[in-house]
């Protein structure tokens, strides 16, 4: 793959965050789908969030400046409940 397909050179749980890659976002008590759409100035992926309750205007790109999402490693579906609010992670393999 060419370098331009990666959002960042950082690794998150051993994986690099490439553009258009699906992720999961835990927003408070909601579990939402997300997709990586770019990179911010801190070399972290910008994630577009889908499926939050409320108006469509509330869905937006995280880590662009509106709000921050931190990475949290999740290896199983059981660990999702233990994950902190407003984090993102790779979809666990089930």
Cα–Cα distance, 51 to 38 (Å, whole number): 19
State the pLDDT confidence band at 51, using cuts at 50, 70 and 90: confident
The model scores a pTM over 0.85: no
Please, what is the average pLDDT of the chain? Answer: 80
* Domain boundaries defined on the chain: 3-89
CA distance 45 to 10: 9
Give the per-residue pLDDT at 2.
Answer: 46
Query: Residue 1's pLDDT is what?
Result: 44
């Amino acid at each position: 793959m060419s370098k331009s397909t990666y959002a960042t050179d950082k690794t998150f749980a051993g994986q690099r965050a490439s553009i258009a890659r699906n992720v999961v976002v835990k927003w408070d008590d909601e579990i939402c789908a997300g997709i990586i759409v770019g990179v911010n100035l801190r070399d972290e992926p910008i994630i577009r969030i889908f499926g939050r309750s409320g108006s469509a205007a509330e869905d937006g790109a995280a880590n662009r400046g509106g709000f921050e999402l931190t990475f949290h490693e999740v290896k199983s579906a059981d660990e999702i409940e233990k994950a902190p609010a407003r984090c993102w992670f790779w979809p666990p393999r089930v």
